Structure 1
Amino acid sequence: MDLRFNTSLAEGYKSASQIARVLTEDWLARNMYCPICGEVTIRRAEPNAPVKDYVCEHCKSQYELKSKRSDSESFQATVADGVYRTMIGRITSLDNPSFFFMHYDRYEVNNLVIVPKCFFTPSVIEKRDALATTARRAGWEGCNILMREIPTTAKIPIIKNGVALPVEEVVSQYHRVFNLQTKSVESRGWLMDTLHLVERLDETFTLKQMYSFVDELQVKHPDNNHIPDKIRQQLQFLRDKGIIEFKGSGVYRKKQL
């Protein structure tokens, strides 16, 4: 995998954002495989396809790319995206795309992760203020993707600090994480919340520690009057999916992905 951009494509462009878009989109189309089925290439989607930049011809998986110039391994807290309503409509359809998040510097990729589609819920999408009445697109409402609200478990590395990981390793990890896919947006929300809480605890943790988050979860789920029951249900789900293991007597241990 060649991590360098084809800078000749930038000729004729003056806008830094346009140059970045052209170079990063071209790089992904030329170099990226499908992290889901391992197909050696993915193609660009039809022009102006909503919340979809690339498609795998083999498994029909959909992807969108978000990129930023940075030499940091850690991805920023928020990532700007397009129309808020369009994004919410796509991610609640259960036919939403997975997302590539790229960091590049000096015209080459240094970090690239993929977040499976099952980790996108309305809670990770923030509506931006509508454009002023004096703006060319007055009233337009964009959105931000709140990267800080996506569990670390869901950010699967493809390129890390300028080194591409083996394809088989990426595909294997994707399937293990995507195994957490649920059948409803509400279930996705509980999965996200529970994973976030588990990630805040030590490698070995207890049910009692999880219960200490009841009040926090109650704020997020005000209509649920059985939060402790839901916590136990979610821990059992994560155990059955191989993310954590139950050691007995209310003790759990995280498993390495």
Structure 2
Amino acid sequence: MNLHFNQSLAKNYHSESQKVRVLSEAWVKENGYCTNCSVQSLAEFANNKPVADFYCGNCNEQYELKSKKSKLSNIINDGAYKTMIERINSKDNPNFFFLTYSKEYTVNNFLIIPKQFFKPDIIIKRKPLSATAKRAGWVGCNIDLRQVPESGKVFLVKNQQVIPRKDVSQQFQKTLFLRKQSVASRGWTLDIWQCIDRLDTHFSLKQVYAFADELRCKHPENNHILDKIRQQLQVLRDKGIIEFVSRGHYRKSY
């Protein structure tokens, strides 16, 4: 995998944003691959596709690319709020590639967040543009990566180190069970997963119970929070995300 952008492709562009778009999309087309089926070449959608940039001709996975100079931040600027919410609630919502690059146009990090980790509360609604703006009233959004469990951040390149494809595929495949859940069930699983991320490798049921008030705020309609915690721990255990050690004690498998 070549980590350098082919700068000759953007020599006719003066806008930095246009230049980066051309260079980053060309880099992904040349070096990226489908993390679902490992097909090397990804095809590009037409420029007017609402969200997705690439798709796999073999398994039809879709991918949206976000690029940024320097470090990967927790908050990523995105497009229209309404469009984004509609897409993540649809069956063909895209996976997201996030790419960071240096001032020398070298890839620092390239990761995918699979679509099953996206839920409405990961999308932050921005204030409408002012009445004097060219697109007055337009409402954009941000993506809050803090809402994604660490296992949902699958690196293909990390700190300029290329991750073996088999490791990438294995991490991607391990979380596909989430796609079979309803939106509500998946939300609960991800919320409990995030709580576990904040604990040590070995943790207890009592420690997860300590997040009950926080979970109650997220799910005010549920009057059986502790029962739900136990249920979701069992789901994560059955899927190999955590391991049962002894009564009331668990260990992370990631």
**What range describes the TM-score normalised by the shorter chain of this pair?**
over 0.9
Deviation at 1:46, TM superposition (A): 2.3
Work out whether residues 35 and 174 of structure 1, in 8 Å CA contact, stay in contact via their aligned partners in 2: yes
**Structure 2 counterpart of 1:32:** 32
Query: Is the partner of 1:27 in helix, strand or coil?
Result: helix
Q: Deviations over 1:37-91 (max 9, x none)?
A: 0101111112211111100000010000111101x4xx30100111100000000
Work out whether residues 82 and 143 of structure 1, in 8 Å CA contact, stay in contact via their aligned partners in 2: yes
**Structure 2 counterpart of 1:2:** 2
TM-score, structure 2 length as denominator?
A: 0.97
Q: State yes or no: 1:152 paired with 2:150.
A: yes
Query: Is the partner of 2:179 in helix, strand or coil?
Result: coil
TM-score, structure 1 length as denominator?
A: 0.95
Work out whether residues 43 and 55 of structure 1, in 8 Å CA contact, stay in contact via their aligned partners in 2: yes
Which of 156, 167, 181 is equivalent to 2:179? Answer: 181
Q: Deviations over 1:164-216 (max 9, x none)?
A: 11112211111012233343221221122111100111111111111111111
* Letter of the structure 1 residue corresponding to residue 12 of structure 2: G
Please give the alpha-carbon distance, in whole angstroms, between the structure 2 residues aligned to 1:178 and 1:69. Answer: 30
**Structure 2 counterpart of 1:211:** 209
Please give the alpha-carbon distance, in whole angstroms, between the structure 2 residues aligned to 1:225 and 1:92. Answer: 26
Matched ranges for 1:127-146 at <5 A: 127-146=125-144
* Letter of the structure 1 residue corresponding to residue 92 of structure 2: D
Work out whether residues 94 and 184 of structure 1, in 8 Å CA contact, stay in contact via their aligned partners in 2: no
Query: Is the partner of 1:90 in helix, strand or coil?
Result: helix
Q: State yes or no: 1:46 paired with 2:36.
A: no
Which stretch has the larger CA shift, 221-230 or 7-16? 7-16
* Letter of the structure 1 residue corresponding to residue 91 of structure 2: L
Identity of aligned residues (%): 51
Q: Deviations over 1:93-132 (max 9, x none)?
A: 1321111111111111111111111000000000111111
Q: State yes or no: 1:80 paired with 2:94.
A: no
**Structure 2 counterpart of 1:126:** 124
**How many residues get paired?**
253
Which ranges of structure 1 fall in alignment gaps of 5 or more residues?
none
Which of 95, 101, 107 is equivalent to 2:98? Answer: 101
* Letter of the structure 1 residue corresponding to residue 64 of structure 2: E
Moved >3 Å (runs of 4+): none
Work out whether residues 151 and 171 of structure 2, in 8 Å CA contact, stay in contact via their aligned partners in 1: no
Work out whether residues 130 and 141 of structure 1, in 8 Å CA contact, stay in contact via their aligned partners in 2: yes
Work out whether residues 155 and 168 of structure 2, in 8 Å CA contact, stay in contact via their aligned partners in 1: yes
Deviation at 1:6, TM superposition (A): 1.1
Please give the alpha-carbon distance, in whole angstroms, between the structure 2 residues aligned to 1:51 and 1:191. Answer: 26
**Structure 2 counterpart of 1:58:** 58
**Structure 2 counterpart of 1:237:** 235
